[in-house]
Amino acid sequence: MPERQRHGASIGQPLTRRDGHAKITGAARYSADVKPEGLLHAVMAVSSVARGRVAHLDVAAAEAHPGVVAVMTPRNAPALAQSPDLKDHPFAFRLDLLQNDGVRYANQPIAVVIAETLEAATEGAALLAPRYESERVSVALGAGEVFRPETIGAGSATDEGSGDLAAGMAAAETRIEATYDTAAQYHNALEPHASVAAWDGDRLTLYTPTQALWIAKGRLAGLFGIPPENIHVVCHYLGGGFGSKGFIAAPQILGIMAAKLVGRPVKLVTRREQMFGPVGHRAATRQTLKLGAARDGTLTALDHHTLTLTSRHDDFVEPSGILSRHLYAAGAIATTHAVSRADIGTPIFMRAPGEASGSVAVESALDELALELDLDPLEIRLRNYAEVEPITHRPFSSKALRECYAQGATRFGWASRPRQPRQMRDADGLLVGWGLGTATYPAGMMQGEARATIRADGTALIETAAHDMGQGAWTVLAQIGADGLGLPITQVELRIGDSNLPNGGLAGGSTGTATSGTAVDNAARAAIAALADLAVNDRASPLYGAGNAGVTAADGRLARRDDPARSEAFGEILARAGRTSVEAKGQGAGDPATRKAYAMHAHGAVYAEVKVDPDLGQIRVTRLVGAFAAGRIINPQLVRSQYYGGMIWGVSLALHEHAVLDPRSGRVMNGNLAEYHIPVNADVPAMEAILVEEHDPHVNPLGIKGVGEIGITGTAGAIANAVWHATGVRVRDIPITLDRLLG
């Protein structure tokens, strides 16, 4: 068997993004940049009521506007082969595709205007001037009937726990109970959802940003009643996804329907204000934490209850309690979830779904307990360090969290932190506070496939319908492929982002590199094996007869393992065999038995410094140090960028993001990027990410855990704790706003 080159020239190198040049020169074409011949522009009209029906649209006024070609409403929208409300797949969310005049949330699409120019389509949509029959709405957390959902997140158990909670509470010497609210958040990738769709008979070409090309293809095949192979989805670049582009959303499909209606290519781009409804969000939560501890700080009981919201018409439940099943050792654990329905768009996965909102509550509660016990926040976390996964008692496949705590603490200077709040000021008189949060995210895998082709010129091609939304797939998959093939990365061509390529699965849940990387590695390895077969059975080859000893691939040559001097270039082997190429496929998926035997998570520790104006309450994060352990690091530069991005999302969760709904109308009143605040550059000070070494022999052969989401977890709690430490005020309404600190 050929030996895989695990520590080759590429893996572990901080290579510059391979797609970087295209992105810094403007050459990278995103979906909305594509312009087929004869393109028309489509603009959605969306509902301003949150519940009811559309009673009237002034279609005539829109049609009369110069340049308008067609107005698509439920009256003339192309028929679909299946109901968009059909849930035939765990990830099939109900879609509003103009099949009736009903309105189920504000900003729901109610019509599409198609025109020769964007300006005409935009004004056409405004001229529809909808009238509604509206019903009373309910959008507040807990306002509707509260029920226990069947599952949470991506099919996880609603309630899970271990031990006798009541006994654990009774045995505790110190108890705290606190309720934390987290706000509704909208993904707001800077690239709005867009589609450029062109039909040729019953064949569809679609340019659209998606984190799951093959899932999109399957959904579209069902909706339009055509074979999946008739659908070609192209997405070389996503302008951010964060979960909102995991599953193709209504606006993208409406563009396809519009193209069908008018028989010409159509571009539909969601307007920013339309991103607050039909493309998912993270629902608000109210989490109650009850902790009981012995005098030494060890948890005797951890009770984490989450109340959240879902839409009236579909189910997605933010799984905020899940992390309490994995994170801290406790004598007894209960994690439960409840939900009520509201007249809102269906929530969906959003960067670290569950873990992000759950982490800020758990980390805050733990610090509240530490205060009661007069313990250092790091100490209480170490005293509850989970040596095995708490509920299942499974060993961790690897867990370098202790090293994360230690390296982060040293770098940050944590040891000099005074225990009491409001003890530190800077030279300008600003209050200074330090906080800590533990980061955690599951090291999951999905399923994917890749193809590797070794070509006669000595180069190779790696193909998989994987997705790069900024995490670096264009680079790291080539790195993995290069090492698997024993080639310099310059000799490896990578093709991703196209549904005609082998199924690349889903870029989500921090599984992309683990899944696609494993598929690429396996494909590369199989291609080398096929190439080796040609050589070792060929008497003319210096490798003839090496079958038992094996061959290794390096620098574009196969060499005998027992005699590396006997080697042959890839091209020579193929040429003599009369082949132009040799190709092989590889699968990427977790090993079920190993995944059952071990708990698999990435971990980290985030230390935050904030400054707070003692009189005015304005808050600024001034320093962040995160130390993360996530198995093998394929590209430290890109991984560091992922951690930074996650940590900035943590800043945003803790201090900024907050969709404000008017409870009377159900409308988002800050549905724009001026008032729905995400951090700007000036909100992000010096930050540091320490890549803590961790070797994981179990997660997958390459030892890869995901890094895309873990940075948010820990960070938001660290900031909330730092704000308390600066001010002495514990704010349990997240995001923390300055009015809470005015005293």
Which parts of 572-631 interact with other proteins (CB under 8 A)?
609, 611, 613, 615-618, 620, 622-623
In the list 37, 145, 201, 427, the residue contacting other proteins (rule: CB under 8 A) is 427
Nearest residue (CB) to other proteins, 66 versus 155:
66
In the list 123, 368, 463, 521, the residue contacting other proteins (rule: CB under 8 A) is 123
DSSP, res 82: S
Query: At residue 6, what is the residue type?
Result: R
Q: How far is the CB of 678 from other proteins (least distance, A)?
A: 6
Nearest residue (CB) to other proteins, 122 versus 174:
122
Question: What does the buried/exposed string (b/e) look like for 697-712 if buried means 16 or more CB atoms within 10 Å of the residue's CB?
Answer: ebbbebbbbbbbbbbb
Nearest residue (CB) to other proteins, 13 versus 665:
665
Q: How far is the CB of 606 from other proteins (least distance, A)?
A: 14
Q: Is 742 in the site for other proteins (CB under 8 A)?
A: yes
Query: At residue 475, what is the residue type?
Result: T
Please identify, among the stretches 151-159, 216-224, 409-417, 557-565, the one whose residues bind other proteins according to the rule CB under 8 A.
Answer: 409-417
Binders of other proteins among residues 126 to 165 (CB under 8 A) are 126
Active site positions, annotated: 709
CB atoms within 10 A of CB 60: 10
Nearest residue (CB) to other proteins, 28 versus 691:
28
Nearest residue (CB) to other proteins, 120 versus 536:
120
Q: How far is the CB of 215 from other proteins (least distance, A)?
A: 20
Binders of other proteins among residues 431 to 450 (CB under 8 A) are 432
In the list 242, 276, 405, 598, the residue contacting other proteins (rule: CB under 8 A) is 242
Helix ranges restricted to H, 117-156: 118-127
Binders of other proteins among residues 267 to 286 (CB under 8 A) are 269, 271-272
Report d(CA 200, CA 260) in Å as an integer: 9
- Report long-range pairs for 57-61 (Cβ below 8 Å, ≥24 apart): 57/110, 57/111, 57/128, 57/129, 57/130, 58/127, 58/128, 58/129, 59/111, 59/128, 61/127, 61/128, 61/129
Please identify, among the stretches 161-169, 217-225, 423-431, 579-587, the one whose residues bind other proteins according to the rule CB under 8 A.
Answer: 423-431
Q: How far is the CB of 41 from other proteins (least distance, A)?
A: 8
In the list 149, 240, 458, 550, the residue contacting other proteins (rule: CB under 8 A) is 240
Q: Lay out the sheet containing 567-569: strands in order across.
A: 551-554, 557-560, 567-569
What does each C-alpha distance from 267 to 32, 126, 232, 429, 525 come to in angstroms? 7, 18, 16, 54, 41
Nearest residue (CB) to other proteins, 115 versus 257:
115
Please identify, among the stretches 155-163, 196-204, 411-419, 522-530, the one whose residues bind other proteins according to the rule CB under 8 A.
Answer: 411-419
Q: How far is the CB of 73 from other proteins (least distance, A)?
A: 19
Q: Is 188 in the site for other proteins (CB under 8 A)?
A: yes
Report d(CA 743, CA 738) in Å as an integer: 10
In the list 70, 80, 152, 238, the residue contacting other proteins (rule: CB under 8 A) is 238
Q: How far is the CB of 635 from other proteins (least distance, A)?
A: 10
In the list 425, 457, 540, 562, the residue contacting other proteins (rule: CB under 8 A) is 425
State CA 247 to chain mean position distance. 12
* Six token digits for residue 257: 């329907």
Residue 14: which of 603, 641, 519 has the closest Cα?
Answer: 641
Nearest residue (CB) to other proteins, 63 versus 683:
683
* Six token digits for residue 694: 């961790």
CB atoms within 10 A of CB 341: 18
What does each C-alpha distance from 697 to 181, 594, 602, 701, 702 come to in angstroms? 39, 10, 14, 7, 8
* No. of helices (H) and no. of strands (E), the chain: 15, 31
Q: Which residues contact 13 (CB under 8 A, 6 or more apart)?
A: 479, 635
Nearest residue (CB) to other proteins, 109 versus 590:
109
Binders of other proteins among residues 349 to 408 (CB under 8 A) are none
Binders of other proteins among residues 63 to 122 (CB under 8 A) are 66, 117-120, 122
Report d(CA 32, CA 394) in Å as an integer: 47
Nearest residue (CB) to other proteins, 86 versus 669:
669
Q: What burial class does residue 615 get, using C-beta atoms within 10 Å of its C-beta: 0-12 exposed, 13-18 middle, 19+ buried? A: exposed
In the list 38, 413, 545, 697, the residue contacting other proteins (rule: CB under 8 A) is 413
Q: How far is the CB of 683 from other proteins (least distance, A)?
A: 5
In the list 429, 490, 548, 565, the residue contacting other proteins (rule: CB under 8 A) is 429
Helix (H) or strand (E) holding 518: helix 512-536
CB atoms within 10 A of CB 654: 31
Q: How far is the CB of 14 from other proteins (least distance, A)?
A: 9
The count of chain residues that interact with other proteins, using the rule CB under 8 A, is 110
Binders of other proteins among residues 458 to 517 (CB under 8 A) are 469-472
Over the window 655 to 694, marking each residue x when it contacts other proteins by CB under 8 A and - when it does not, the resulting string is: xx---xxx-xx-x-xx-xxxx-xxxxxxxxxxxx------
Nearest residue (CB) to other proteins, 21 versus 695:
21
Residue 538: which of 572, 562, 564 has the closest Cα?
Answer: 572
Half-sphere exposure of residue 522, counting CA atoms within 13 Å on the CB side?
Answer: 19
Q: How far is the CB of 244 from other proteins (least distance, A)?
A: 11
Nearest residue (CB) to other proteins, 123 versus 318:
123
Q: How far apart are the first and last CA of the chain?
A: 70
In the list 91, 385, 544, 644, the residue contacting other proteins (rule: CB under 8 A) is 644
State CA 571 to chain mean position distance. 40
Q: How far is the CB of 499 from other proteins (least distance, A)?
A: 20
Please identify, among the stretches 17-25, 160-168, 524-532, 578-586, the one whose residues bind other proteins according to the rule CB under 8 A.
Answer: 17-25
Q: How far is the CB of 556 from other proteins (least distance, A)?
A: 27
Binders of other proteins among residues 530 to 549 (CB under 8 A) are none
Radius of gyration of the chain (CA): 27
Residue 526: which of 462, 580, 435 has the closest Cα?
Answer: 462
Nearest residue (CB) to other proteins, 140 versus 294:
140
Q: How far is the CB of 153 from other proteins (least distance, A)?
A: 23
